[in-house]
Chains A and B, each alone.
Chain A
Amino acid sequence: MKMNRRAFIKACGIMTGYAVLGLNITKEAVASSMSFVGLRQTSVYAADANAKIYAIRKSQDNPMIKKIYDKKDGFLHEGPCGHMSHHLLHTHYIDRSAKVAALKDRGVTLNF
């Protein structure tokens, strides 16, 4: 394909414009969403540090935690990772890789 000078300069202009605009937009979008998320994160830490909202700051000091793990008559009296904990509060995981492998065999491209 042959290109005259005018078309070449025009193409360069469009490409530069696109590159600058595209880059800035991505930057701006990420910065704005992170500042939005940042506000929520700041609020979480402010509540954690606010004694009027959370008087206690460590899980092990929660009186209801002490009650449920009470060694004498607590529901989870064997303590964390005890028998009852393993029955109700722990789980196992399932290998799901065969399903994506089948997807890839069908020609789908994924990032991992």
Chain B
Amino acid sequence: MRLIEGVMYQNNAPKGVDPDSIYFVQVDATKCEACGTCEEVCATGAIQSINEDGIRSVVDPVACMNCGQCLASCPYGAIYEGVSYVDEIFEKLKDPDTIVVSMPAPAVRYGLGECFGAPTGTYVGGKMHTALRQLGFNYIWDNEFTADVTIMEEGTELIQRVQEQGKKDARPLPQFTSCCPGWVKFTETFYPDLMPNLSSCKSPIGMLGPLSKTYGAHETHTEAKKIYTVSIMPCIAKKYEGLRPELADSGFRDTDATINTRELAYMIKTAGINFNSLPDQKPDAVLGDSTGAATIFGTSGGVMEAALRLAYEVLSGKKLSDPNIKVVRTHEGINTADVKVPGFGTVKIAVASGLDNAAKLCDEVRAGKSPYHFIEVMTCPGGCVNGGGQPIDPDVRASLFSSTVAQINKRFRARKVTA
């Protein structure tokens, strides 16, 4: 076990195992104060009391969507991560025969700075690229590029689905986004009948892995088998996604390692890089250049807004003069809107933040009562910027008041049990 940015990690880099058998997050029973905060924030109920003292544990990995909201909300730092590729990545960075490729997600650049003392939400994208170069990554490719690819693929898929309605073998509407790995596993586990509604597009990281080992290898004249792809995410569930056996379309494992924002900060600190004094640099162009539409993938409603910036222009044939589509921006709960597209009609959309909200929309679809064309779901309230792999909100740990109340709750509950 190792402490990384206030969270304990097990040094474990699994290969070729069934991700359903891994506890990506787990409770350290010796640190658990039985306050029950984790249980309150868990949508599926996977984290439960295991004894009379109210000590919590993840009951079984199949019920856990690996979102890590329990970890991010635990006032005692009692929840740890079960998987870390940090040591393996350090080894690969030193190995001259391995071409290590960086693949950071949009939200990482809005959280990483906090680990180096910057105010909440500070954008540090340029510094992040420089830091990755200094760490020894051979190609600074960026997951935001494939966020743009995702928009092209998923937007086109949506337009196809709308156009094929009424025909034989038409794919159903609404189309659900498929970027969020917690949400994808949730559909597969609790709403498998709605799998045809999920966009068949891989997530942006699911696209960048195979593109790195095919297109990227070709463009840079690199042997694909030497490429080692490192997915850098604000997310714990992405570690599950990286291990999905079906994601090997490049002829190799598409994603070789997955770390999160906290682990990247740890790597930068361990390498002795003075992050705050770094200049801003750009990623390597081929699979690195991106747009504003890509960066908003990091927040709830962002994928929807980015897709609408494409759909509007394709469906109407006109230029969208103001790319701000503020009605879809979502902080919490469910947000619905009718977006008028000239020459086409109305696109009905919904954005759900959090799995309990997503379930309400799923029930509507199941009942055949869903009026929407396109539904975006993010497992973490607020989106990836609030992912389980992001730096922990200092207030969660620092508030003496809330931990005192948690203690009172514990006593209250303990008394109730013994009575």
- Chains A and B form a bound pair: yes
Cα–Cα, bound, A3→B386 (Å):
49
A68 and B190 contact, CB distance less than 8 A: no
23 of the cross-chain contacts (CB-CB < 8 Å) are A29-B402, A33-B393, A39-B120, A40-B111, A40-B385, A41-B382, A44-B385, A45-B296, A57-B309, A58-B313, A62-B148, A64-B285, A65-B152, A80-B157, A88-B250, A91-B200, A91-B206, A93-B198, A96-B188, A97-B189, A97-B192, A103-B60, A110-B44
The answer on a CB contact under 8 Å between B393 and A47 is no
Known contacts A96-B62, A108-B60, A110-B44, A91 near B202 by CB under 8 Å: yes
A residues at B contact (CB < 8 Å): 18, 21-22, 25-26, 28-29, 32-34, 36-49, 53-54, 56-65, 68-69, 75, 79-81, 85, 87-97, 99-100, 103, 108-112
Closest to A37 in B: B382
Contact string against A for B residues 32-63, beta-carbon threshold 8 Å, 1 for contact and 0 otherwise: 00000100100111101000000000011011
In the assembled complex, B5 has its CB within 8 A of some CB on chain A: no
Is the pair A49, B324 in contact by a Cβ cutoff of 8 Å? yes
* B247: Cβ under 8 A from any A Cβ: yes
Beyond the given pairs A33-B395, A41-B121, A53-B123, 7 more chain A to chain B contacts, judged by CB atoms under 8 angstroms and listed by A's residue number, are A34-B332, A41-B383, A61-B291, A90-B153, A93-B188, A110-B63, A112-B44
Chain B residues, CB < 8 A from A26 = 40
Our count of residue pairs bridging A and B at CB distance below 8 angstroms stands at 235
Chain B residue at minimal CB-CB distance from A93: B195
Interface pair A69/B295, CB less than 8 Å apart: no
Q: Nearest-CB distance from B199 to chain A (Å)?
A: 9
| Interchain CB contact under 8 A, B153 and A36 | no
Docked complex Cα distance between A80 and B160 (Å)? 11
Binding-face segment, B268-276, B298-306, B344-352: B298-306
A56 to B335, CA, bound (A): 26
Q: Are B202 and A89 in contact (CB under 8 A)?
A: yes
Distance to closest chain B CB from A1 (angstroms): 11
**Residue B185 lies at the interface, judged by CB distance under 8 Å to chain A:** yes
CA distance A22 to B48 in the complex (A): 20
Q: For residues 352 through 385 of chain B, which have their beta carbon under 8 Å from a beta carbon of chain A? A: 356, 359, 381-383, 385
B134 interface residue per 8 A CB criterion: no
B318 to nearest A CB, angstroms?
13
- Contact residues in A for B48 (Cβ distance below 8 Å): 108
- Chain B 247-260: CB-based contact to A (< 8 A → 1; otherwise 0): 10110000000000
A53–B294 Cα distance when bound, in Å, is: 12
By beta carbon, the residue of chain A nearest B254 is A88
B382 touches A38 (CB 8 A): yes
**How far does the Cβ of A53 sit from chain B's closest Cβ, in whole Å?**
7
Shortest CB-to-CB span from B364 to chain A, Å, is 15
Partner of A62, one of B63, B202, B289, B393: B289
Across the interface, B291 reaches (CB within 8 A) one of A42, A59, A68, namely A59
B155 touches A80 (CB 8 A): yes
Interface 0/1 of B44-87, CB less than 8 Å to A: 11101000000000011011000000000100000000000000
Q: Is B6 an interface residue (CB 8 A)?
A: no
A30–B188 CA distance with the chains assembled, in angstroms: 29
Q: Are B59 and A94 in contact (CB-based, < 8 A)?
A: no
